[in-house]
Amino acid sequence: MSWRLDVRCAGSGGQGLALAAVVLAEAGLAAGCEVALTQEYGPEARGGASRADVAISDEVIANPQCGVPSILLALHDKAWRKFATGVPAVSASLESGSTTAVVDRDLVAVAPDAPGVLALPFEAVARDELRAKVVANMVAVGALGRLMGRFGSEIIESAVAKRSPSAFSQLNVVAFRRGWSMMDDLLPAAVSAGR
């Protein structure tokens, strides 16, 4: 049975969501999948609500743009407002046609308190534990990679290292691992099907 995952990374321009999406696409490519990454260009990329969508599949991706994302990552209220509209059914499991939303606990206040919405402290962990707020995106990539359940941590970790600016390579890998482990407690409940 063929499969396809659509991951939408949304936030405010400058939060590194495009890099997060590039890392996931790079991991997909390394795993031998077909990938297509599209993103919103223009003034949004410089401070407005921006998004980058990654489609990952085991077959040719005809339509690169995702309709309903399998996973929606939002790191900013305005990104949630702009890109969570049209997300019909928020579900805790990766079922086709439904969306699991992953939001930053402190940066996104407008997301509903629902079973399919995971509110996680990406920025708080980056700031307080890793002493670098800017790596919140890679903490989120760790959580997302685990939630996707398609690739092992090594393959995504290599993608993080490959795509990071050299000065941030090590820190980004640490952040990625932290995000991956963040899902330890949540995962059995969060992902019940769809793998």
Question: What are the residues binding another protein (CB under 8 A)?
Answer: 22, 25-26, 29, 34-39, 41-42, 61-65, 67
User: What's the min distance (Å) between Cβ of 69 and another protein?
Assistant: 15
Q: Which of 146, 149, 147, 176 is nearest to 161 (CA)?
A: 176
Residue 14 CA to residue 19 CA, distance in Å, equals 10
User: What's the min distance (Å) between Cβ of 167 and another protein?
Assistant: 20
For another protein, the closer CB: 9 or 36: 36
Residue 37 CA to residue 184 CA, distance in Å, equals 28
User: What's the min distance (Å) between Cβ of 38 and another protein?
Assistant: 5
User: What's the min distance (Å) between Cβ of 84 and another protein?
Assistant: 19
For another protein, the closer CB: 50 or 100: 50
For another protein, the closer CB: 30 or 134: 30
